């Protein structure tokens, strides 16, 4: 029998207070897509960093083509043909795609100095392959959208001619079209014999892509599924260790407030469409806002939260008009927003979990700045338990938590407080399936308490699963409103893409 292209046996890795990996094993064959799944903090990214030479394992062995190998650093792994596309993107923001793609390896690839024109030409080719415009070749990467940055990272991996490409949650910020393009790229790589390790929390992707699934739980192997065995239930059981009762826990027919808690009348804002936007959300309701990435959902929410100047119209909370010029005004009126890019806007990475739990209050209201009350501690510990945040303690630095656990920290805090209106922008991106249903349960609880919950989401399944009503945005404008009874993926997608027929049919 031929040996796997890449194999790791008995890998161990400890960090202060955390056993990230406890004798895990994994292998991937040429021409195979291996999906690696597991709860947030299960050790997926840590093992990938070991394979890519970023970390040294405390114990364990690696084999390439059956031969033992050791990587002292990323350059060793790269030379051996292993390329990692990080979960947290890893590009120099002030440089263009070409400079990023060739950064630090001009000699490695071509045995001498490269002319700029030549680098640009090669870069254009790879940009086109991943579906990006070749014109982006010199645009500073910092100016690109998150999805475009991700594709530049993928272009870089392709240009390395890697034999093993590791993708750590590559589609988390891609649009549907970009995602489809990536799937095609992956199909092509597989056909050409490249081995791919693919990490994701999206079950649908695994069914589409994976030839085999390896599951981690708490730093250990918890099982493996062959292609024919890949089902949602089987993966969840191996990941969480139990069945999840309700994927979408929600109370039917919650009591709605007589007056809308949030009413938006003809609101216009800087960067928005010319016509105003109008809609209402009642207390007790979870309203999903769907639309394509770039439809303007975040911008609208930012305007109402005081992050973007409102240029016309009226905002009413509990029937009273309010003026919003600054997030402070919104918070004072009881409107809060958990932002989409929590790494940028929601977290202080170098501070503790406990500090960040307290953040929604502190930075906005600047009250009790240094007071860490017993209540805060209790809430913090409760959230850690409910959302299964994997952290050694409340005092752990947030930046050291795994990607999904960072998400849980900020989100949990917003959900633990009672407001009038809560805007959740992509609340479950990067969050594992178990914690997802806890987040939904917290949303449902808030709605039961009379809060108006406004959930912006690109995850159609969750929009259909949790919303009492769905608003669809298309090019900044409301393209339609759908009651729960009339919801289907098709109808939402038609509205989101601006299909005229369905607008007429509505």
Ligand X SMILES: Nc1ncnc2c1ncn2[C@@H]1O[C@H](COP(=O)(O)OP(=O)(O)OP(=O)(O)O)[C@@H](O)[C@H]1O
List residues binding Mg ion (CB under 5 A).
45, 87, 402-403
In sequence order, the 6+-apart residues with CB closer than 8 A to the CB of 92 are: 99, 100, 103, 141
C-alpha to C-alpha distances, 479 to 300, 346, 385, nearest whole angstrom = 14, 30, 40
Minimum CB separation of residue 144 from Mg ion in Å reads: 22
Does 222 participate in binding ligand X (rule CB under 6 A)? no
Nearer to ligand X, 100 or 352 (CB): 352
Residues 6+ positions from 202 with CB-CB distance below 8 Å: 171, 459
Helix (H, G, I), strand (E, B) or coil at 446: helix
Separation CA 484–CA 92 (nearest Å) = 44
127 close to 158: Cβ distance less than 8 angstroms:
no
Site for ligand X in 346-405 (CB under 6 A): 390, 400-405
Instruction: State the minimum distance, in angstroms, from the CB of residue 87 to Mg ion.
Output: 5
Write down the least CB distance from residue 21 to ligand X, Å.
8
Q: How many Å separate Cα 241 from the centre of its chain?
A: 23
> Which residue, judged by CB position, is nearest to Mg ion in the bound state?
45
486 vs 469: CA distance, rounded Å: 9
- Kindly indicate which of the ranges 42-50, 92-100, 224-232, 255-263 contains the residues binding ligand X, using the contact rule CB under 6 A: 42-50
Question: Measured from the CB of residue 51, what is the shortest distance to Mg ion in angstroms?
Answer: 13
Among ligand X, Mg ion, none, the one that 42 touches (CB under a kind-dependent 5 to 8 A) is ligand X
- CB 98, min distance to ligand X, A: 30
- Confirm or reject binding of residue 214 to ligand X (CB under 6 A): no
Asked if 317 and 421 touch (Cβ cutoff 8 Å), the reply is yes
| Interaction of residue 41 with ligand X, rule CB under 6 A | yes
- Name which of ligand X, Mg ion, none residue 77 binds, using a CB cut-off of 5 to 8 Å depending on partner kind: none
Stretch that binds ligand X, among 12-20, 77-85, 289-297, 338-346 (CB under 6 A): 12-20
Q: How many CB atoms lie within 10 A of CB 132?
A: 23
The partner in contact with residue 405, picked from Mg ion, ligand X, none with C-beta cut-offs of 5 to 8 angstroms by kind, is ligand X
Strand, coil or helix: 45: helix
Q: Which of residues 155-194 bind ligand X (CB under 6 A)?
A: none
3-class state of residue 425 by DSSP: strand
First to last CA, the chain: 60
Q: Is 42 in the site for ligand X (CB under 6 A)?
A: yes
Task: Quote the CA–CA distance of 492 and 453 in Å, as a whole number.
Answer: 19
In 3-state terms the chain splits into helix, strand, coil percentages (rounded to 5) of: 40, 25, 35
CA 95, distance to chain mean position in Å, is: 24
Q: How far is the CB of 42 from ligand X (least distance, A)?
A: 4
Chain residue at closest Cβ approach to ligand X: 404
Q: Which does 127 bind (CB under 5 to 8 A by kind): Mg ion, ligand X, none?
A: none
Minimum distance, C-beta of residue 36 to Mg ion, in the bound complex (Å): 10
Between 401 and 423, CB nearer to ligand X: 401
- The yes or no reply on residue 38 touching ligand X (CB under 6 A) is yes
Answer yes or no whether residue 18 interacts with ligand X by CB under 6 A: yes
Counting residues that bind ligand X (by CB under 6 A) gives 19
43 near ligand X (CB under 6 A): yes
Residue 473 forms beta bridges with which residues?
Answer: 478
By beta-carbon proximity to Mg ion, the closer residue of 40 and 379 is 40
Least distance in angstroms from the C-beta of 353 to ligand X: 10
Q: Minimal distance in Å, beta carbon 135 to ligand X? A: 33
Closest CA to 88 of 294, 409, 343: 343
Least distance from ligand X to the Cβ atom of residue 207, Å: 19
Nearer to ligand X, 43 or 283 (CB): 43
Taking the C-alpha atoms of residue 158 and residue 190, their distance in angstroms, rounded to an integer, is 12
Between CA 457 and CA 323 the distance in angstroms is 27
**Interacting partner of 412 out of Mg ion, ligand X, none (Cβ under 5 to 8 A depending on kind):** none
Verify binding: residue 136, ligand X, rule CB under 6 A.
Answer: no
- Minimum CB distance to ligand X smaller for 52 or for 292: 52
339 binds, among ligand X, Mg ion, none (CB under 5 to 8 A by kind): none
Residues 84-113 that bind ligand X (CB under 6 A): 87
Q: How many CB atoms sit inside 10 A of residue 179's CB?
A: 18
Rounded to the nearest 5°, which phi and psi values hold at 154? -70, -40
Nearer to ligand X, 96 or 412 (CB): 412
Q: Which does 41 bind (CB under 5 to 8 A by kind): Mg ion, ligand X, none?
A: ligand X
- Between 324 and 431, CB nearer to Mg ion: 431
The count of C-alpha atoms lying within 13 angstroms of the C-alpha of 177, restricted to the half-sphere facing its C-beta, is: 7
Contact 425, 454 (CB under 8 A): no
Taking the C-alpha atoms of residue 240 and residue 261, their distance in angstroms, rounded to an integer, is 37
Beta bridge partners of 168: 199
Residue 38's binding partner among ligand X, Mg ion, none (Cβ under 5 to 8 angstroms by kind) is ligand X
Q: Is 40 in the site for ligand X (CB under 6 A)?
A: yes
Euclidean distance between CA atoms 432 and 41, whole angstroms:
10
Quote the longest CA-to-CA distance of the chain: 74
46 binds ligand X (CB under 6 A): yes
CB-based burial label for 500 (10 Å; 0-12, 13-18, 19+) = exposed
Which residue ranges make up the site for ligand X (CB under 6 A)?
Answer: 15, 18, 20, 38, 40-46, 87, 390, 400-405
């Amino acid at each position: 029998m031929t040996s796997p292209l890449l194999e790791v046996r008995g890998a161990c890795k400890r960090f202060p207070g955390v056993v990230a990996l406890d004798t895990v094993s994994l292998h991937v064959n040429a021409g195979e897509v291996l999906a690696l799944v597991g709860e947030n903090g299960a050790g997926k990214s840590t093992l990938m960093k070991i394979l890519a030479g970023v970390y040294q394992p405390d114990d364990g062995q690696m084999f390439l083509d059956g031969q033992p190998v050791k990587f002292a650093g990323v350059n060793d792994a790269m030379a051996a043909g292993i390329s990692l596309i990080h979960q947290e993107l890893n590009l120099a923001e002030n440089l263009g795609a070409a400079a990023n793609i060739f950064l630090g390896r001009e000699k490695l690839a071509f045995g001498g100095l490269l002319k700029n024109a030549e680098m640009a030409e090669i870069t254009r080719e790879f940009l086109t392959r991943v579906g990006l415009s070749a014109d982006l070749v010199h645009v500073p990467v910092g100016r690109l959208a998150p999805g475009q940055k991700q594709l530049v990272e993928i272009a870089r991996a392709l240009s390395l001619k890697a034999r093993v490409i590791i993708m750590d949650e590559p589609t988390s910020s891609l649009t549907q079209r970009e995602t489809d393009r990536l799937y095609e790229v992956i199909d092509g790589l597989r056909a050409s014999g490249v081995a791919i390790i693919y990490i994701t929390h999206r079950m649908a992707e695994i069914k589409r892509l994976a030839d085999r699934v390896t599951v981690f739980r708490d730093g250990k192997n918890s099982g493996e599924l062959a292609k024919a065995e890949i089902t949602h239930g089987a993966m969840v059981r191996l990941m969480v260790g139990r069945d999840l009762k309700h994927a979408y826990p929600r109370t039917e027919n919650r009591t709605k407030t007589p007056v809308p808690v949030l009413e938006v009348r003809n609101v216009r804002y800087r960067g928005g469409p010319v016509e105003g936007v109008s809609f209402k959300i009642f207390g007790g309701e979870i309203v999903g806002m769907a639309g394509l990435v770039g439809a303007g959902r975040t911008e609208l929410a930012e305007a109402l939260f005081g992050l973007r100047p409102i240029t016309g119209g009226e905002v009413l909370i509990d029937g009273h008009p309010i003026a919003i010029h600054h997030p402070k005004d919104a918070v004072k009126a009881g409107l809060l927003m958990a932002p989409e890019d929590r790494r940028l806007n929601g977290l202080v990475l170098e501070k503790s979990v406990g500090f960040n739990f307290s953040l929604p209050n502190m930075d906005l209201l600047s009250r009790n700045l240094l007071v860490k009350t017993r209540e805060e501690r209790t809430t913090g510990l409760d959230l850690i338990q409910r959302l299964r945040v994997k952290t050694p303690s409340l005092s752990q630095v947030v930046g050291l938590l795994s990607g999904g656990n960072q998400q849980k920290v900020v989100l949990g805090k917003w959900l633990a407080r009672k407001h009038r209106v809560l805007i959740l922008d992509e609340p479950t991106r990067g969050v594992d399936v178990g914690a997802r249903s806890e987040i939904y349960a917290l949303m449902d609880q808030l709605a039961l308490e009379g809060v108006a919950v406004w959930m912006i989401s690109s995850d159609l399944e969750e929009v259909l699963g949790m919303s009492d009503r769905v608003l669809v945005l298309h090019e900044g404008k409301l393209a339609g409103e759908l009651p729960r009874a009339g919801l289907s993926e098709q109808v939402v997608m038609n509205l989101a893409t601006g299909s005229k027929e369905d607008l007429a049919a509505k």
